[in-house]
């Protein structure tokens, strides 16, 4: 039940902040599909400004820390050193992935499941399994499900193992992109 409450609080905060931004920018008649591009523009401009203006960067961090508990900051587990944010950041920094190609940002959809074909384009076939391994089992199952619908009669050997699903997705992607 608390998850729904936190989800609703988050949605309300997002809606209010987006409305305030749109009004400030004079963009009051945007469609929901256009909001994705506003989000991208906002993130790009904020990143540029934050790198040039440390006080702006601190203001963003401060606002984030103020909001993070409201949207459901997880409590520490039994291990006193358990720090999910640090673990996630460390995992992303140390995953060893090296982009071999860059893609146009307009091809990205931050609200959709990851596109394994874009991952292939960015990381290549050798790094594709490692790129996919960054996603949860549930996310990989959704991606796999799309391939299963497109190719009836095919499926991962074991839908309960990430490695099995990744192997299936990689096989489907490489077969279709060949």
Q: How many angstroms separate the CA atoms of 59 and 47, rounded?
A: 12
Query: Which pLDDT score is estimated for 51?
Result: 87
Q: What percentage of residues in the chain have a pLDDT greater than 70?
A: 78
Q: 139 pLDDT exceeds 70?
A: yes
DSSP states of 66-89 as a string? Answer: HHTTTT-PPPP-SSTT--HHHHHH
Query: Which pLDDT score is estimated for 8?
Result: 57
Q: 93 pLDDT exceeds 80?
A: no
Q: Which two tokens stand for residue 42?
A: 């906002």
Q: 163 pLDDT exceeds 70?
A: yes
Measured in degrees and rounded to the nearest 5, phi and psi for residue 152 equal -55, 140
Q: 75 pLDDT exceeds 50?
A: no
Whole-model pTM?
Answer: 0.49
More confident residue, 120 or 105: 120
Of 27, 26, 14, give the one whose Cα is nearest residue 110. Answer: 14
What is the average per-residue pLDDT within 75-104?
A: 58
Q: Which of helix, strand or coil describes residue 142?
A: helix
């Amino acid at each position: 039940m608390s998850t729904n409450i936190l989800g609703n609080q988050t949605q309300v905060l997002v809606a209010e902040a987006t409305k305030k931004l749109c009004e400030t920018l004079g963009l009051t008649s945007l469609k929901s599909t256009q909001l994705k591009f506003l989000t991208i523009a906002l993130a790009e401009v904020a990143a540029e400004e934050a790198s040039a203006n440390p006080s702006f960067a601190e203001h963003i961090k401060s606002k984030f820390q103020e909001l993070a508990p409201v949207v459901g900051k997880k409590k520490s587990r039994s291990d006193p050193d358990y720090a999910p944010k640090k673990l996630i950041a460390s995992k992303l920094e140390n995953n060893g992935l090296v982009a071999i190609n860059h893609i146009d940002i307009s091809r990205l959809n931050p609200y959709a499941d990851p596109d394994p074909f874009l991952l292939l384009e960015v990381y290549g076939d050798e790094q594709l399994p490692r790129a996919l391994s960054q996603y949860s089992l549930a996310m990989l199952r959704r991606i796999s499900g799309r391939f299963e619908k497109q190719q009836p009669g095919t499926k991962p050997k074991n839908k309960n193992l990430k490695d099995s699903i990744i192997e299936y997705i990689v096989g489907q992607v490489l077969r279709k992109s060949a």
